[in-house]
């Protein structure tokens, strides 16, 4: 995939995290001048190990996106902003909703205001989530599916999307939101038990610990390997058709949780057990879910190229000798 990033000034919010760091590495390799902004709060996945291979080729600003004063200065003079910073735990959004609101909604509006005042021509690409759809009305879920979030995280991510779309329409700013599905791969945040099931399962599998599956394990999901997600953001950057819109990512392949377990077993050794849904999880479970990315493909040509079998092997290989950097 060819792009025109050489010497362009790029800002990555949440650039020490999973997706942000992988975007940073790609951009550095394509000649961009990259500045990473991250608060390095451990519970949100910021990790210096993630950018080890480009550490001397990027600028790092240790700031929190909730700091309006910092954002007013940081956004000036850059060509592109990848807004990857966020609180991703659905459970955490229910137990600490005000923090989720602050990070996933209010801060996104603050970023937009800083750009409107100080850099209105910048391109902004926002990492949203399929979680905002809630329980799907039909499958695969496309952008016309009713949006009925089942948790605070989904509501706040939806609000952020609406801010980006509004600023595109009212102020002519170039903003696009990509709704990510279950993204996995190297540099993923694996610490703790509050992240998505994929990360929890991967860590436990590598450790040889028992994995607990809620329900019968037949729930269907789709998955995107991180390199495919980075491709999606790269393709969007210079495609003027995407701005002002929202798009699903996803995969034509979908798997049950039991099938996901089987791919893990091809690379690790562990046991698993099916258990009833805990009440707090059952209330926000969405059942089967997989997305249609047809609309995004029609505009950009994007489609995933790395299947779950290959992607899982790459992921396990990356983490096996790096546990000390990602398990704590």
Q: Does residue 71 register a pLDDT over 80?
A: yes
Q: Does residue 43 register a pLDDT over 80?
A: no
Q: What is the pLDDT of residue 194?
A: 65
Tokens describing residue 204: 């436990």
Number of neighbours of residue 169 by Cβ within 10 angstroms:
11
Q: Are strands 80-83 and 9-13 parallel, antiparallel or unpaired?
A: parallel
d(CA 242, CA 301): 12
Q: Does residue 169 register a pLDDT over 60?
A: yes
DSSP label of 175: E
d(CA 178, CA 233): 8
Query: What DSSP line would sit under 78-140, residue for residue?
Result: -SEEEE------HHHHHHSHHHHHIIIIIHHHHHHHHHHHH-TT-EEEEEEEGGGG-S-SSSS
**What CATH number does the domain located at 9-326 have?**
3.40.50.720
Q: What is the pTM of this model?
A: 0.95
Q: Does residue 25 register a pLDDT over 70?
A: yes
Q: What is the pLDDT of residue 33?
A: 98
Express each pLDDT in 226-267 by its tens digit: 999 999 999 999 999 999 999 999 999 999 999 999 999 999
Provide the Cα torsion 42, 314, 90, 272; round to 10°. Answer: -110
Specify the higher pLDDT residue, 286 or 136.
Answer: 136
Q: What is the mean pLDDT of the chain?
A: 93
Tokens describing residue 274: 């099916």
Q: Does residue 42 register a pLDDT over 80?
A: no
d(CA 319, CA 321): 6
Q: Does residue 156 register a pLDDT over 60?
A: yes
Query: What DSSP line would sit under 265-312, residue for residue?
Result: HTT----EEEEPPPHHHHTT---S--B--HHHHHHH-------HHHHH
Note if the bond before 79 is cis, omega within 30 degrees: no
Q: Are the C-beta atoms of 275 and 210 separated by less than 8 Å?
A: no
Express each pLDDT in 191-215 by its tens digit: 876 678 899 999 999 999 999 999 9
In the chain, where are the structural domains located? 9-326
Q: What is the pLDDT of residue 92?
A: 83
Specify the higher pLDDT residue, 118 or 151.
Answer: 118
């Amino acid at each position: 995939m060819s792009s025109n990033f050489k010497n362009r000034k790029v800002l990555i919010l949440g650039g020490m995290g999973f997706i942000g760091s992988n975007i940073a590495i790609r951009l550095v390799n394509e000649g961009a001048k990259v500045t990473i902004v991250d608060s390095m709060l451990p519970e949100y996945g910021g990790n210096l190990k993630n950018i080890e291979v480009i550490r001397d080729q990027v600028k790092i600003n240790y700031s929190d996106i909730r700091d309006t004063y910092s954002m007013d200065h940081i956004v000036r003079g850059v060509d592109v902003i990848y807004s990857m910073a966020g609180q991703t735990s659905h459970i955490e959004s229910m137990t600490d909703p005000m923090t989720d609101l602050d990070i996933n909604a209010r801060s996104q509006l603050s970023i937009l205001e800083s750009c409107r005042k100080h850099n209105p021509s910048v391109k902004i690409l926002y990492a949203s989530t399929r979680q905002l759809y809630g329980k799907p009305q039909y499958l695969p879920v496309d952008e016309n599916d009713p949006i009925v979030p089942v948790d605070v995280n989904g509501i706040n991510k939806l609000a952020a999307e609406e801010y980006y779309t509004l600023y595109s329409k009212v102020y002519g700013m170039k903003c696009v939101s990509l709704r990510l599905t279950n993204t996995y791969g190297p540099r993923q945040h694996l610490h703790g038990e509050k992240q998505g099931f994929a990360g929890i399962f991967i860590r436990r599998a590598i450790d040889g610990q028992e994995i607990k599956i809620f329900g019968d394990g037949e729930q269907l999901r789709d998955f995107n390997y991180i390199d495919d997600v980075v491709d999606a953001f790269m393709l969007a950057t210079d495609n003027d058709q995407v701005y002002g819109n929202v798009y699903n990512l996803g995969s034509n392949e979908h798997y049950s949780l039991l099938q996901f377990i089987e791919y893990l077993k091809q690379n690790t050794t562990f046991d698993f057990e099916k258990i009833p849904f805990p009440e707090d999880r059952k209330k926000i479970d969405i059942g089967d879910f997989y997305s249609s990315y047809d609309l995004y493909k029609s505009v950009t040509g994007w489609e995933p190229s790395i299947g779950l079998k290959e992607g899982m092997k790459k992921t396990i290989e990356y983490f096996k000798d790096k546990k000390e950097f990602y398990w704590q």
